[in-house]
Amino acid sequence: MLKPKIAIFQGSQIRRHWDNEKELWYFSVVDVIGVLTNQTDFVRARKYWNKLAERLRLEGSEVVTKCHRLKMLAI
């Protein structure tokens, strides 16, 4: 399980992780969705993302991959 660092965006906390090997930041999609939809409840933000990802896959979008979630510690 990754111990994320916290980024602040519009006053909200977003979990993130730096991968030294790939030199990439990974951000919690659920946290970002929560900020963009003004949703403070984690469960509702997660359900919003799940439904959106399902709709995108049905439309044939390749933006959403079929990969497992990257486990991050909760804030």
More confident residue, 17 or 68: 17
Average pLDDT, the chain: 85
The ranges assigned to domains in the chain are 5-58
pLDDT tens digits, one per residue of 38-48: 988 989 999 99
3-state secondary structure 31-47: HHHHHHCCCCCHHHHHH
Tell me the pTM: 0.75
Query: Looking at residue 36, what is its pLDDT?
Result: 93
Examine the pLDDT at 16 and tell me if it is beyond 80: yes
pLDDT band at 21 (very low <50, low <70, confident <90, very high): very high
Nearest-angstrom CA–CA distance, 58 and 42: 24
More confident residue, 1 or 7: 7
**Of the candidates 73, 17, 8, the residue with the CA atom closest to the CA atom of residue 42:** 73
